[in-house]
Chain A
Amino acid sequence: MDIFGSFALLLALLAAVYAFAAGIAGILTRRALLTKSARNAGMAVFGLVTLAVASLEYFFFTDNFSLAYVSEHSNRALPLYYKFSALWAGQEGSLLFWTWLLSIYAFSALFLNRKKHPELMPYVGVTLAAVQIFFLTLNNFVVSPFHVLGGMDASGAMHVARLSEGSGLNPLLQYYEMVIHPPILYLGYTGFTVPFAFAMAALLGRYPGEKWIHITRRWTMVAWCFQTVGILLGAHWAYAVLGWGGYWAWDPVENAALLPWITGTAFLHSVMMQEKRGMMRVWNVWLVFVTFMLCILGTSLTRSGVVSSVHAFAESSIGGWFFTFLGITFLVCLAAWFKNRDYLRSDNQLDSLVSRESSFLFNNLILLAACFAVLWGTLFPVLSEAVTGNKISVGPPFFNKVNVPIALFLLFLTGVGPLLAWRKTSYDALRRNFAWPLVGGVVAGAVGFAFGFRQFYPVICLILSVFVTLTIAAEFYRGARVISARDGTNLLTAVGELTMRNTRRYGGYVVHFGMVLIFIGITGSAFNQDIQKEMAIGQSIQIGPYTILCQNFDQPSTDNYTSDRATLEVLRNGKSEMMLYPEHRVYIASQVPETMVAVESTPLRDLYVVYAGTSPETGKPVIHAYLNPLVKWIWFGGIVVVLGTGLALFPDRRATLVLRPATEKSWGDAISQGASGTPATSPVASAPIRRSGADD
């Protein structure tokens, strides 16, 4: 079976090489048959890699410990779903898994477009094949997961060793989120390959117009969504499992995932400039290129050990391969751009500072600044060592100082941008759209200030969050009111109708709202408290409104691990609220410690209690309690972001064009609304105008 798997991998490489070579030949000779066979080879890669993955999974499920990879990452007692996820527990397997996901994307892109875009697709196929060749080379020759335990004896004969038991999966990975977090993050990383391939194809083939952007719009959203969820799941895993009370530490591995997310976000926004106004062509092509390269850089950073990380992936020699690939990719991008740069000329110029265009420009500028700051901070130890000989690292204060204002400015743009008109926005329109949300925000800020919010950034964030939420709500309300007035439906049905007619726009608003929730959750960290104390039975600690009373300590050890556990009663205002059981385990086989955090999570705050260890002097247990406000909003915001993206992926429902004039009722409605100070223009007159100005 191991021969079967490695043979499938080798065939996959050959198929990819053929797809690459025949694809180029097809483009040069313009022979349809050659192009078609190149495409089929590209799709065949998927089938072959699938066979290799299935073969490796078969080894895991049958506990075949003759394979080095299986024996290192599994054991007999491992639950079935962890045996499945052990596929990506180590370097060899996760790279195979990576290749497989990439092949799924490549297959889908080639298959779904097999009868479309005959001028573009051959280039797409060649680009996808080139990326696959790189990963398949690694899978086959550098970090093959199909290495068999064993070796040559003195006489030169091969011995195959088969262990009766594997060393098991790292307990830190034995957590349900670890089954889904890596695949989802990888789906994000690999997904950006498709827009990259299309951008490269459009550039090389000088494909006319903005069509490649229309084709890849959904692909980019899918990849972006996976990346978002992947990052949040990783943060949640760190929060729930690692037991240090936080979810984000600006660790290189986290940064590596954040970088392509930032440029991907910038791209999703700036493509609208190109679609509507034919601007930013060079910028967009480079944003896709950079996003793809950051995905590769992220992988190489985490895999090569160039930058030290608490995540401590296996350090290995494959960093060099990745950096070489990165260099080649960059040169190819540079050459493709240089040769075809005349094709990317802009149609239009910026007309006014107060316009949709300029809000997108600022959005991109600021996202790129964030990306650059994070990249710089992550690579700083390497860069400083190369330049000055001193290895210097920068910590969270650096990242926070730069990124918090950037994030708040982005939040501001989230509220302002969508309501500005293309080209130029009049003062009247500004007042109409923003007066009430701004008042609402300032009132919220004042209330917050009165209730004791004194720190600068949290107050700003509160004002902006309310402001953005109100602008989004006003957008839905205005649109829905027009529909409900015309069709006579109630407002809620009208909101649904409105959303389904322009899923991209209103889905985008939902995503924005999800981001507001995430911002609120992150702002909560400004009010974190924690306390750490040695405790004996009967003693208590006070944190926020809670009193934590220590009831008991025990050692519920099993065959698998030794454990220390505390039984804590949580009281609030003298009333017993709940029991918490923080636990500290050491797995016997691997000697890996694991902290079982006890979290009581409410929308307002998390009470997060850790059994931190035993005091070396007194032998008493040390309990570390954290009070983290609003953390739950982050996870909930993530769900809203996913729903919004899902909505935006839906095809628009074709609006039935009703060309009869609006009923009198709607006119009266509009006038009464206008008198009360809400947007004064008649909905019938304003809606079509605004609609045409909106982003698709």
Chain B
Amino acid sequence: MKARKKFIIGSGIIIATLLSLAYVGYTQSKTYYHTISELPTLQGATLHQRMRVSGNVRAGSITHRDGRTDFVLEEEGKALAVSYVGSDPLPDTFKDGAQALVEGRLQPEGGFVAEQVQAKCASKYEATPGATQPGASPVQSPGQSMNQSGSPAGTGKS
């Protein structure tokens, strides 16, 4: 089957090309996820990789300096000093206590320079802080819902 053979060769070339492109794209954009507590254990090449670290912004730690914003991320009691040097303004959701995901590189002296910062409130789709959390407990007592909704609106009926 001549045509079949040609098709297989053609496919092989296409797939090899795509694989090499994929590899290049992968090396350009791969980003490691690390937790803050993992960072001190990193050694050698892994220290200089591009990585993503998430944590909560320590209350009161956000300071704006010329051309950068410094803050401290916390996770499970461990802290990481971060300098954000990106050009985009920080997202609105980035504030004290917010959950933030920073992307950048670890500095030799231990700090972290972030080029990107994402932040989100607990969840966009259940956005109101303190609102009833679905799934956590589907059935809630009236008192709870009243407190959480923040308005004295619940009328308990038995």
Contact = CB atoms under 8 A, between A and B. Distances in A.
Interface core residue of B3, B24, B155 (most chain A CB under 10 Å) = B3
A68 B132 contact: yes
Contacts of B101: 308
B153 A593 contact: no
B87 interface: yes
A423 to B, nearest CB: 10
Given A314-B125, A381-B33, A399 B92 contact: no
A324 interface: no
Nearest to B35: A391
B48 to A, nearest CB: 14
Nearest to A170: B127
Contact of B25 (A161, A310, A385, A398): A398
Interface string B118-149: 10110111111101101100111110111001
Q: Which 4 A-B pairs give the minimum distances between C-beta atoms?
A: A401-B25, A398-B25, A395-B29, A593-B92
Interface string A389-425: 0111111111111100110010000000000000000
B158 to A, nearest CB: 5
A613 B89 contact: yes
A312 B125 contact: yes
Contact of B17 (A69, A361, A405): A405
24 contacts: A68-B138, A149-B140, A153-B158, A159-B157, A159-B158, A161-B145, A161-B146, A161-B154, A162-B154, A163-B149, A164-B153, A312-B125, A362-B10, A365-B14, A369-B18, A390-B33, A398-B29, A401-B22, A532-B88, A584-B92, A613-B90, A615-B89, A617-B64, A624-B88
A349 B3 CA distance: 9
Interface of A: 68-69, 71-72, 89-92, 143-144, 147-153, 157-165, 167-168, 170, 172, 308, 310-317, 349-353, 355, 358, 361-362, 365-366, 369, 373, 376, 381, 385, 390-402, 405-406, 409, 532, 584, 586, 589-593, 612-613, 615-617, 622, 624
Contact of A394 (B11, B30, B141, B154): B30
Interface string B1-35: 10110110011001101100110111011111100
A586 B129 CA distance: 14
Contacts of B7: 350, 353, 358, 361-362
B66 interface: yes
B107 interface: no
Contacts of A313: 123, 125
A164 B131 CA distance: 14
A392 B30 contact: yes
Contacts of A373: 18, 22
A393 B31 contact: yes
Given A312-B125, A369-B18, A398-B26, A72 B134 contact: yes
B18 A312 contact: no
B61 interface: no
B151 interface: yes
Contacts of A168: 128
Interface residues of B, number: 63
A613 B91 CA distance: 8
Contact of B22 (A71, A308, A398, A612): A398
Contacts, number: 211
Interface in B72-94: 87-90, 92-93
Contacts of B129: 591
A91 B145 CA distance: 20
Nearest to A423: B3
A392 B32 contact: yes
Given A163-B145, A163-B149, A394-B29, A90 B18 contact: no
Contacts of A391: 32-33
Contacts of A612: 88-89
A312 B154 contact: no
Contacts of A393: 30-31, 33, 52
A203 to B, nearest CB: 26
Given A68-B138, A395-B29, 16 more contacts: A72-B132, A153-B141, A159-B142, A159-B156, A163-B145, A164-B153, A165-B151, A308-B101, A312-B124, A366-B14, A385-B33, A401-B21, A401-B24, A402-B22, A405-B17, A613-B90
Contacts of B156: 150, 159-161
Given A398-B25, A405-B18, A151 B32 contact: no
A361 B6 CA distance: 12
A613 B92 contact: yes
Contacts of B145: 71, 149, 161, 163
A147 B138 contact: yes
Contacts of A409: 14
A385 B146 CA distance: 42
A157 B87 CA distance: 58
A356 to B, nearest CB: 13
Given A361-B7, A586-B92, A402 B21 contact: yes
A222 to B, nearest CB: 29
B158 A157 contact: yes
A235 to B, nearest CB: 18
Nearest to B11: A365
B141 A167 contact: no
B121 to A, nearest CB: 7
A631 B3 CA distance: 41
A391 B46 CA distance: 13
A162 B69 contact: no
B6 to A, nearest CB: 5
Contacts of A92: 134
B118 A310 contact: yes
Contacts of B3: 349-353, 355, 358
Contacts of B33: 381, 385, 390-393
A365 B17 CA distance: 13
Given A317-B135, A350-B1, A358-B7, A170 B125 contact: yes
A32 B125 CA distance: 49
Contacts of A399: 25
Contacts of A615: 89
Nearest to A401: B25
A91 B124 contact: no
B29 A396 contact: yes
Contacts of B1: 349-350
Contacts of B121: 591-592
B25 A397 contact: yes
A226 to B, nearest CB: 23
Nearest to B89: A613
Contacts of A398: 22, 25-26, 28-30
A611 to B, nearest CB: 10
A400 B25 contact: yes
A305 B83 CA distance: 28
A584 to B, nearest CB: 8
A314 B134 contact: yes
Contacts of A161: 140-142, 145-146, 154-157
A185 to B, nearest CB: 16
A647 B118 CA distance: 44
Given A72-B126, A398-B29, A613-B90, A151 B134 contact: no
Contacts of A365: 11, 14-15
Contact of B21 (A405, A591, A616): A405
Contacts of A355: 3
A371 to B, nearest CB: 12
Given A170-B127, A532-B87, A590-B127, A149 B52 contact: no
B134 A90 contact: yes
